[in-house]
A and B are shown apart, each in its own frame.
Chain A
Amino acid sequence: MNRKKLQKLTDTLTKNCKHFNKFEVNCLINLFYNLVGEVTERQGITIGLDRNAFRNILHMTFGMTDDMIMDRVFRGFDKDNDGYVNISEWIYGLSVFLRGTLEEKMKYCFEVFDLNGDGFISKEEMFHMLKNSLLKQPSEEDPDEGIKDLVEITLKKMDHDHDGKLSFTDYEQAVREETLLLEAFGPCLPDPKNHPQLFHSHPRADGNSHLVWPRKDGNCI
């Protein structure tokens, strides 16, 4: 991308995205192009991270391991559903991912958990997400009984309008009461313990702040 276009892009992105400053956006753009690799720019071809590349990043940088969740995260980033995370989706997604406010994170997580996108998290969806969360006891007759019970427990706790499924309002209210429930159905946000430096701006000696991306080939200037 030529310099002018890059500049314009940076400006747009910085303006629209609230949590990164100009230098950080710059870094992220560079990082993005590094990750995408050498691709010639052509009309009609979207440049972006495909599902595998993205999941790779989630795994290597953020230590995520749950396949289903990672898939959903990709869908969450890929707002236009074209199978690629392009540059703006990348920046906006990371903005929420790393530094989102509680409201932004709630919306994001709810979208991740709402598997069919109908605006509700149903019992079946919950079951699907939680189905590997308990150790299977060999003595148990019905291994799914525990999962079903967990689903019931969660529903009891979070379903405030008692309609048997979680709307965004239900979810939001529950999370406001108990913040731990934000990622109730799976870890879809990065764990700050892994890379705390990502979550803050770090001022440098020259007065600019940069983003320290913890990869040897992804390090920013």
Chain B
Amino acid sequence: MSKQEVRFSGEWKKREALKEAPKKEEAAALQKALPASGKSVLEKNYINLGKSQMTKRLQPSLNWKATFDFKEHKSLLRDTQEEKHGGRLERSGPPVSPRRSQLVRKSAEKIEEIISESSSESEEDEEPPDHYQEANAGLPSEYWQIQKLVKYLKGGNQTATVIALCSMQDFNLAQETCQLAIRDVGGLEVLINLLDTDEVKCKIGSLKILKEISHNPQIRRNIVDLGGLPIMVNILDSPHKSLKCLAAETIANVAKFRRARRAVRRHGGITKLVALLDCAQNSGEPAQSSLYDARDVEVARCGALALWSCSKSYENKEAIRKAGGIPLLAGLLKTSHENMLIPVVGTLQECASEESYRTAIKAERIIENLVKNLNSENEQLQEHCAMAIYQCAEDKETRDLVRLHGGLKPLASLLNNTDNKERLAAVTGAIWKCSISKENVTKFREYKAIETLVGLLTDQPEEVLVNVVGALGECCQEYENRVLVRKCGGIQPLVNLLIGINQTLLVNVTKAVGACALEPESMMIIDRLDGVRLLWSLLKNPHPDVKASAAWALCPCIQNAKDAGEMVRSFVGGLELVVNLLRSDNKEVLASVCAAITNIAKDQENLAVITDHGVVPLLSKLANTNNDKLRRHLAEAISRCCMWGRNRAAFGEYKAVAPLVRYLKSNDTSVHQATAQALYQLSEDADNCIIMHENGAVKLLLDMVGSPDQDLQEAAAGCIYNIRKLALATEKARYT
């Protein structure tokens, strides 16, 4: 609560006591209504949703709160689509900031984008308690003064209006009470009407005020409701540069929620804002009278600010691109004005989540400039550049470009400043995505980044951890790095992170642990720390990505653990759990579980157990698939499972054989190899041979006998041998 007190001005001290009472009541009431959220609800509802709020939420803690639960998000989507004001939303933790949601990369990016908007929108949807009506004490003197000024605005000529507008600027317009006072006495309508007149001075004065008060979320919505946005968009056409600047800056403040962004686009605002970016077009005009003058650079900066706010919406991103925004943004990147660079990079970073942008970004040589600006002194600029690189580095060429322009070194050195958590999250994100390329990983090792990353595994907020672990997961694809991570003591913190609720984090951690498990010594540590059991319990996690990732990670664990069979058996209900996962709908889960089963089935006893649990019919049911990844792992699993009891015959009975033959027609050679192995194993059973023969397996297998892959040759040959052997035996039987 102390933060609130600080923000009231000195005059108000005597009223504080009176205000405290009603506020506390409201706080209590709100807290009862939203049980889980706690005091962060009130805090997030106040105006300064700026940096201070972000850093507060990013405090390191080991209480992993839920940030992304897919089911909850479906309900979030539904709620905000109805645009209920002050709708109650069920959430179990603090709201997801738009930035966080960006860092969660899923395939359905559009949904994610809507989710990020809806979560920011829902923040604003919950209207903060209107202090005014609640406080029974008399209204502060500012209220009356403002009311008087608005009266002069309504009833005065141009001269009186200008005087009143100038006087109004003297109030502390950042204070919510002043902002709401202006609104409550009808000031917003007057200010917006003034924008519609021809009087330039009045427009300037009015915009100066609107620009300040539109930092308040409520006021923003009021402005849009009163139809302020189309008028402001029209002002962007004015020949007076200072008017353009003010209008753009006000739009930047107002367009922070979805309805406003849509309104800007619908009234042609995006095209006009993009036009503002065109400095060259504005230059060459003689100096005008100082009242209306503004430098061209300033105009472009304000345009960029407005575009940054607007670009959070998917349709706006498209509109910006179609209006030719990218080359203009690229041009502006070449300046050295930090104030200009931040909104430009901010806009690029928002838009770079779209594929179409990434192509254009590569073409415009933007990466070079982004890397250059990583070296700037300004932390915010560094943060946004890193975020932009994170977004763009999905693409291989970009990753190479980052390396070629020397971007990896500054990224690595920025890892050492851990104070600015948002910047750290952006930098680690960029490093994560860049690490997908092996050459970059080599460079990072040179710069000692891996050690630093291991150091960041503890005591960091979730946004940072997700990226750090992701980066380590990519780095550990290399043998030397696995050893390095182990030597730095990275295994323990990684295993510790296996307990948690954040899905992205879990996916990344499992991948990293799985990569480490490829090294036998690391595997020993993992085993000692009970990591395998933790991975196994993640198979119960509701989210399919986590399940799949855990299953993939289990494969090397089982391969490399000592007494793997014993270990697997020690997990109560573990084998049954795995077999039941074969009932899932998700292809990735199925593929990963098949791979795990392949490893489990290397141990005879375990194979017996899973056969009892019905693995054969379940595997057979999956056989009819076109997904090559699934086919490959399924075939491998089947070939392993054949080595027990009647399983060979059972697979035939469950009609697994015929579909398997079809796999041979796939284009993927790893599928061929796995299938040939499976068919070879299955062909030990006579009935299976007949089915294979009927389905034309022989011809397909003959082709593979000539393949360069030795294992494939052997398996194909072995299979044909068995089929022929049966055929010969049948022939012989006929003649005897």
B201 lies within 8 A of chain A by Cβ: yes
Contact of B155 among A135, A153, A178, A185 (CB under 8 A): A135
A 109-139 binary contact with B (CB < 8 Å = 1; else 0): 0000000000000000000001011110100
Whether A184 contacts B148 in the complex (CB less than 8 A), given A134-B155, A192-B292, comes out as no
- A157→B288 contact, CB < 8 A: no
Annotate B291-310 by CB proximity to A: 1 below 8 A, 0 otherwise: 11000000000000000000
> Would you list which residues of chain A between 184 and 214 have a CB under 8 Å from chain B?
184-187, 191-193, 196, 199-201
Query: Is A183 a contact partner of B159 (Cβ separation < 8 A)?
Result: yes
The answer to whether B155 and A192 touch across the interface, beta carbons within 8 angstroms, is no
Chain A residue at minimum C-beta to C-beta distance from B205 = A180
State how many angstroms separate the Cβ of A2 from the closest Cβ of chain B.
35
Whether the Cβ atoms of A196 and B160 lie closer than 8 Å is no
- Given contacts A180-B201, A192-B200, A196-B239, whether A149 and B148 have CB atoms under 8 Å apart is yes
Give the chain B neighbours of A156 by CB distance below 8 A: 167
Q: Known interface pairs A102-B290, A191-B200. Does A184 touch B159 (Cβ–Cβ under 8 Å)?
A: yes
Q: Is the CB of B156 within 8 A of A134?
A: yes
Binary contact readout B142-173 vs A (1 if CB under 8 angstroms, 0 otherwise): 00000011011001111110111111011000
Please tell me if the beta carbons of A133 and B291 are within 8 angstroms of each other in the complex: no
Interface residues of B in 497-535 (CB under 8 A from A): none
Shortest C-beta distance, B156 to chain A (Å), equals: 5
CB distance from B81 to the nearest CB of A (A): 43
B283 interfacial contact with A, CB 8 Å: no
In the complex where A157-B166, A157-B170, A201-B286 touch, is A150 in contact with B204 (Cβ < 8 A)?
Answer: no
> Which residues of chain B are within 8 angstroms of A101 by Cβ–Cβ distance?
290
Interface: A181 (CB within 8 A): yes
* B52 beta carbon closer than 8 Å to chain A: no
- The 0/1 profile, CB within 8 Å of A marked 1, for residues 189-207 of chain B is 0000000001011001100
Report how many residues on chain A are interfacial, defined by Cβ distance under 8 Å: 35
Query: Does residue B136 face the partner (Cβ distance < 8 Å to A)?
Result: no
Distance to closest chain B CB from A175 (angstroms): 10
Q: When the two chains form their complex, are residues B291 and A182 in contact, meaning their CB atoms are under 8 A apart?
A: yes
- Alpha-carbon gap, A137 to B160, bound state (A): 15
Known A-B contacts A146-B152, A179-B290, A201-B286; A157 and B167 likewise in contact (beta carbons under 8 Å) = yes
| Chain B proximity of A219: nearest CB distance (Å) | 22
Which residues of A lie under 8 Å from residue B288 when comparing CB positions?
Answer: 192, 199
CA distance A14 to B288 in the complex (A): 20
The answer for the CA separation of A99 and B290 in the assembled complex, in Å, is 10
Chain A residues in 8 Å Cβ range of B4: none
| B80 CB to nearest chain A CB (Å) | 40
Bound complex: CA A105 to CA B239 (Å):
22
Name the CB-closest residue of A to B148: A149
Q: A94 to B164, alpha carbons, bound, how many Å?
A: 30
Q: Which residues of A contact B291 (CB under 8 A)?
A: 179-180, 182
Contact B163 A153 (CB under 8 A): yes
Contact present for B290 and A133 (CB under 8 Å): no
Interface residue? A88 (CB, 8 A):
no
**Cα distance, A199 to B200, chains bound together (Å):** 16
Q: How far is the CB of A187 from chain B (nearest CB, A)?
A: 7
Could you tell me the distance between the alpha carbons of A187 and B148 in the complex, rounded to whole angstroms? 23
CB distance from A111 to the nearest CB of B (A): 18
Asked if B289 lies at the interface with its beta carbon under 8 angstroms from chain A, I say yes
A95 interface residue per 8 A CB criterion: no
One digit per residue, 1 when the CB lies within 8 angstroms of any chain B CB and 0 when it does not, for chain A 137-179 equals 1000000001001100110110000000000000000000011
Q: Decide: B158 and A130 in contact? CB cutoff 8 A.
A: no
Is B156's CB under 8 angstroms from A135's CB?
A: yes
Residues on A with C-beta less than 8 A from B290 are 101-102, 179
The answer to whether B165 and A180 touch across the interface, beta carbons within 8 angstroms, is yes
Q: Are B160 and A150 in contact (CB under 8 A)?
A: yes
- Contact residues in B for A181 (Cβ distance below 8 Å): 162-163, 166
A185 & B159 in contact (Cβ 8 Å cutoff): yes
A99 to B288, CA, bound (A): 8
Give complex CA distance A196, B200 in Å.
13
Write out the residue numbers on chain B whose beta carbons fall within 8 Å of the beta carbon of A135: 155-156
**Are A130 and B204 CB-contacts (below 8 A) given A149-B148, A192-B289?**
no
Distance between Cα atoms of A135 and B164 in the complex (Å): 14
User: Are B289 and A133 interface neighbours, CB within 8 A?
Assistant: no
The answer to whether B286 touches A200, judged by C-beta atoms less than 8 angstroms apart, is: yes
Q: Using A157-B166, A179-B291, A180-B204 as known contacts, say yes or no to A133 and B159 having CB atoms under 8 A apart.
A: yes
Q: Report chain A residues within 8 Å CB of B157.
A: 132-134
A208 to chain B, nearest CB (A): 16
> For residue B239, which residues in chain A have a CB less than 8 angstroms away from its CB?
196
Contact present for A130 and B200 (CB under 8 Å): no
Hey, which chain A residues are within 8 Å of B205, CB to CB? Answer: 180
What is the distance, in angstroms, from B644's C-beta to the closest C-beta of chain A?
88
Q: How far is the CB of B290 from chain A (nearest CB, A)?
A: 5
Report yes or no: A130 in contact with B159, Cβ–Cβ below 8 A.
yes
Chain A contacts for B155, CB-based, 8 A: 134-135, 137, 146
Q: How far is the CB of B29 from chain A (nearest CB, A)?
A: 40
Q: Is A130 within 8 A of B160, CB to CB?
A: yes
Closest to B162 in A: A180
Give A100 to B288 CA distance when docked, in angstroms.
10
Q: Which of A157, A178, A186 contacts B159 (CB 8 A)?
A: A186
Which one, B158, B164, B201, B289, contacts A153 given CB within 8 A? B164
Q: Considering the complex, give the chain B residue whose CB is closest to the CB of A136.
A: B155
Task: Give the distance in Å from the alpha carbon of A191 to the alpha carbon of B157 in the complex.
Answer: 15
Q: Which residues of A contact B160 (CB under 8 A)?
A: 130, 133-134, 150
Q: Which residues of A contact B170 (CB under 8 A)?
A: 157
Which residues of chain B come closer than 8 Å to A146, judged between CB atoms? 151-152, 155
Please, which residues of chain B bring their CB within 8 A of the CB of A178?
Answer: 166, 169
A150 touches B152 (CB 8 A): yes
Q: Would you call A180 and B166 a contact (CB within 8 A)?
A: yes
* Apart from A130-B159, A150-B160, A196-B239: 11 A-B pairs, beta carbons within 8 A: A133-B159, A134-B156, A146-B151, A146-B155, A154-B163, A154-B167, A181-B162, A185-B159, A187-B158, A192-B200, A192-B289
6 A-B pairs in the complex with CB atoms less than 8 angstroms apart: A149-B148, A154-B163, A179-B290, A183-B159, A184-B163, A193-B200
Q: List 7 tightest A-B contacts by C-beta distance, closest first.
A: A133-B160, A135-B155, A102-B290, A133-B157, A153-B167, A133-B159, A179-B291
- Which B residues lie at the A interface, using CB under 8 A? 148-149, 151-152, 155-160, 162-167, 169-170, 198, 200-201, 204-205, 239-240, 286, 288-292
Interface set of A (CB-CB < 8 Å, partner B): 99-102, 105, 130, 132-135, 137, 146, 149-150, 153-154, 156-157, 178-187, 191-193, 196, 199-201
